[in-house]
Structure 1
Amino acid sequence: MTYTEIQNALDRAVTEHGAPGIVAEIRNGDETWFGTAGVADLTTGAKRVPGEHLHTGSSGKAFTAAAMLALEAEGKLSIEDPVEEHLPGVLTNGYDGNKITIRHLLSNSSGLFATGLAPEATYRYATRSGFAQHRLDEWTKQDLLKLAVSQPPVFEPGAAFTYSNGGFYIAGAIIEKVTGNSYADEVNRTVIQPLGLTHTHVRRQNESSYATPHPRAYSSLFFKDGTDPSTVTAENWQSVMEDPGTPPLDVTEFNTSLGWSAGDVVSTSGDMIRVIGALASGTLLPAEQHRKMWTTISTEGGHWMPYTHYGLGVFEFDREITNGLVLRGVGGSLWGSYISTVSTPDGDHVISLHTNTEWKTWDIMFDLVKAEFGKGL
């Protein structure tokens, strides 16, 4: 099997879409392949290499959902439980904890607003000067639970889809309440250890660096000077971003505790292939919980990735654009990092890609998935 089309797609990510560097790792049965384009370090020109430690952004939501489903399988909770049963009084500001269930949290159908646009968070990192001042700020669980309800509901529970980190913050708090253990320890017990993920961990609250090897992380995810973050919405955010061509900022040293149970996992492309292959195929969770993870809802109108349905912390591509091929995956983006890992349902054919900058365009992932799986997109 040749990988010319994959390499061409990697090259386009750098030359056409502005990624400093990109990697793709593939497992197809017993065959593996690793390719790169661009650089890991804009200053030294060092190339990207296998085994790099990477921030996986919102891919961490799949770890949260898997941990929660494992607890359900152990009889410690049900994903149909209302939030109020486990965290009484946490949902305020118009949210009804008796109506919002754990399933709603994990499927982004709770009615919680798009937490990533909350001014209380974005103002710290909205501009280059703000990022420099706040890049090592630590966010506590209580900070995040308060942030999750800092704006009122956007719809009734179960009525629609809106991508909300806040729902996963609440899910993480439920995991801790039910088990008496830290969120990180439960993810380690239920996901990382069973799958033998030797280069994967949930970041500590004060963690702001990476083990070697790792690429430098570069960001252009900043508003123009003078922008008031409170006026930014899901509809107008692109119009207030810095002008194209502005040199990126090195954001490698960055405390990402804002992600917590909504996405603060460090891993490698190889480990991500293993975990997503296991989640896609059902080799990690019991059959009932596997079915629940992959019971999906439409993401249309939810300000998220097009052509997808969302399960519990995971997505499936709409089959209309893949000529009927089922492709399952996860993705995540934050300042200086973007990753996506996509698998067939048997877990035997998986591709994981990473750029050392945030999401630029869906075309990067679509090009690579089309080149590898030869369907639609």
Structure 2
Amino acid sequence: MTAGTAAPAAAADTRSGDDDSRGHGGRHAATRTAMADMIRAEDLPGTIAGVREDGDTWSAAVGVADTATGRPRSPRERFRIGSVTKTFTATVVLQLQAEGRLGLDDTVERWLPGTVPDDGIHRPGITIRQLLNHTSGLYSYDDDPQMIRLLASPDFMAHRYDTYRPEDLVRLAVSHPRLFDPGEKPQYSNTDYLLAGMVIAKVTGRPYGEEIEQRIIRPLGLSATTLPGTAAGLPRPHALGYSKLFGGSKTPLETTELNPSWAGAAGEMISTTADVGRFYSALMRGKLLPQAELDEMVPADGAPGLGIGSVTLACGVTLWGHTGGIHGSSTVAVTTRDGRHTAVFNTNADWADGERRLAEAEFCR
């Protein structure tokens, strides 16, 4: 089913403890304006935001959740967070290191023997650290031509309920030549995080999703955050998601329902702006990791982060976080290093390209 983009609905702001008493003005006015500008400039359905700053919270919604009815977006909606899932997965791996149950410099072969065979060309011995910082050199399974056809062409609509096993996707990835020696350079690969999820399961004896629930979701009270596994639906409330199939379609298609098992530990989770912001704030404040592991995840020396990346804005502010793109959903989650100021944005379309401008508006005022 195809869907065009309706005219933006009126925006709505909500706040708790915000010292701005001037309605839509005040300290988040530039953020709200940037959201409206983005959906107009990029012909997007709608965008929502959730901000935490020094104990205060603010949220906003601009545009529509349903292009057919014009139903407005709501800051309370649940959505697919895509690769923001990677920060959750990496946090569990680092917790396991802190408990002495694995080491970041353990090889994948130690925990998953035979899963990633040496290719006889590149240096052997990919480590868990190299999975988390994307320096493994492993081919990303979703770059395989068959997977591109299934995920990023009109064929997706006939296959969006298909189930994929991580073992099969990794097997597909390692059927391709490695791209470079382990540790040589960073190059993003979703294969890395499928393997990280498999390592978690091997070490703990439980699926990585159960570990995320027990170690992060429940302790932080992230009541709107779920790992759907093979379930195709989105919990309510939610917007409809619109996809151009990552370039495979010129016309937006409604792709709200899909089986996210193809993304797994690299990108299957569902959450809200409030829950994701609470997670990143807690992470940076040391509530999930000891200082040593947090310093490894968020290095001060410019090295690649582990399940998290950094960006320095035009005003000199450095933020840490992750973006997440999956059919019908684009998410960006960013935080200051001290966790005192976080912002999470979601667009119910997968061709959004203005997330950096939203961060500039929020953090460079």
Question: Residue 98 of structure 1: CA displacement?
Answer: 4.9
Quick check: 1:111 aligned with 2:101? no
Given the alignment of the two structures, is residue 314 of structure 1 paired with residue 323 of structure 2, yes or no? Answer: no
Question: What is aligned with 2:364?
Answer: 374
**8 Å Cα contact 2:46/2:62 also seen in 1:** yes
Percent identical among aligned pairs is 36
Query: Which deviates more, 52-61 or 275-284?
Result: 275-284
CA deviation string 1:326-346 (max 9, x = no partner): 311111001100101111112
Matches within 5 A, 1:1-377: 1=20, 2=26, 3-92=28-117, 94=119, 98-128=124-154, 130-204=155-229, 206-221=230-245, 241-242=248-249, 246-295=250-299, 310-318=304-312, 321-361=313-353, 364-374=354-364
Alpha-carbon distance, 1:80 to partner: 0.7
The range that moved more, 118-127 or 260-269, is 118-127
Deviation of 1:260 (Å): 0.4
What is the total number of aligned residue pairs between the two structures? 339
CA deviation digits over 1:15-42, x for unaligned, max 9? 1012211001111113221112110001
* 2:44 alignment partner AA: A
Give the alignment's Cα RMSD to 1 decimal: 1.9
Give the Cα–Cα distance (whole angstroms) in 1 for the partners of residues 125 and 300 of structure 2.
20
Structure 1 Cα separation of the partners of residues 141 and 279 of structure 2: 26
Please list the CA deviations of residues 221-267 of structure 1 after superposition, one character each: whole Å capped at 9, or x if unmatched. Answer: 255xxxxxxxxxxxxxxxxx54xxx4310000111111101111111
CA contact (8 A) 1:107 1:313 kept: yes
Q: Structure 1 pair 297/104, CA: closer, same or farther in 2 (3 Å)?
A: farther
Q: Which residue does the alignment assign to 2:8? A: none
Q: What residue ranges of structure 1 are gaps of 5+ in the alignment?
A: 224-240, 299-308
Distance 1:29 1:71 in 2: 30
* 1:339 maps to amino acid: T
1:296–1:310 contact (8 Å) kept in structure 2: no
Residues 58, 333 of structure 1: 8 Å contact kept: yes
In 2, the alpha carbon distance for the partners of 1:297 and 1:150 equals: 35
CA distance in 2, matches of 1:336, 1:10: 17
Contiguous gaps of at least 5 residues in structure 2: 1-19, 21-25
| C-alpha deviation, 1:71, in angstroms | 0.8
SS in 2 for 1:27: strand
The CA deviation at 1:134 is 0.4
TM-score in terms of structure 2 length: 0.88
- How far the C-alpha of 1:143 sits from its partner, in A, is 1.6
Task: Output the TM-score relative to the length of structure 1.
Answer: 0.85
Equivalent-residue separation in structure 2 for 1:248 and 1:323 (angstroms): 35
